[in-house]
Amino acid sequence: MEFFDLLLFGATRNTGFLIARQAAARGEKVAALVRGANTSKLESLGVRIVQGDAFNANDCARAISETAPRRVVSTLGGKDREGRRVDAEGNIKVIAASERHPNIKRFVLVTSIGSGEQFDGISENARKFLGDALRAKTQAEEALRKSRLPWTIVRPCGLSDAAPTGDYALLDAPDPRYGNALSRADVAAAVLEVLDDPRWIGRAVTLQKRFAETPET
């Protein structure tokens, strides 16, 4: 059996793809579950592709069995054509499959600022436009907290495709002294940082933009 350093769910685009690229660049063996998408960009990075659907529990289990990953990261989000939210149903299946594999030493779930206990603190406007997604992400967070996995939840603020700056802060809760927009590349770097830091096991980390005047964390 071939053992992988990292198995990704949600790696075909955006933050998930950038995590794959950054992890591969530092020499990690990376695999990804992909559902019928163009895989050429991932394959060019040396990523091992496992074809499957996160909505399918057997596909999730097979991806983990075939790659025997040491660490798992999920950035799954959005809806399918039937309106099912992969933020909840897909992530919950990934978590359940991961929980059955003894080789997994870390599991990082990327959700969003405003998920979990933060939901009550967001504006009415944010609830109107993001409520369904945040509630789905909260369901996944709750499933992960109840699991036996050594988990970390990462909740980034608003995302952009801007160039990375490295000016991100790892916080226990949203802080108005920090900015609410980060590049996806910075989020990817932060995910890999907490993935290797045991101090974040069993904790939810909020990611926000650090400005020149903001304090050290």
Domain with 189 in it: what CATH number? 3.40.50.720
Are 55 and 90 within 8 A, CB to CB?
yes
- The predicted pLDDT at position 41 comes to 94
CA distances from residue 183 to 14, 54, 204, 209 in whole angstroms, order as listed: 10, 26, 20, 9
Q: Hey, what are 95's tokens?
A: 């978590």
Beta-bridge partner residues of 32: 8, 49
DSSP for 138-171? HHHHHHHHHSSS-EEEEEE-EEE-PPP-S-EEEE
Q: What is the pLDDT of residues 85-124, one digit of tens each?
A: 999 999 999 999 999 998 899 999 999 999 989 888 777 7
Look up the pTM and report it. 0.94
Q: Can you read off the two tokens belonging to residue 153?
A: 């939840």
The parent domain of residue 146 ranges over: 66-209
Residue 216 confidence (pLDDT) above 90: no
Is pLDDT at 67 greater than 90 in this prediction?
Answer: yes
- Provide the pLDDT for residue 149: 97
Position 211 scores a pLDDT of 84
Residue 77 lies in a domain: yes
In a domain? residue 58: no
Evaluate whether residue 5 is within a structural domain: no
Q: Does 35 reside within a domain?
A: no
Per-residue pLDDT tens digits for 142-152? 999 999 999 99
What pLDDT is recorded for position 131?
Answer: 76
105 CB-contact burial (10 Å; exposed 0-12 / middle 13-18 / buried 19+) = middle
At 18, the pLDDT band (50, 70, 90 cuts) reads: very high
Which position has the token pair 């910075």? 186
Is residue 34 a part of any domain in this protein? no
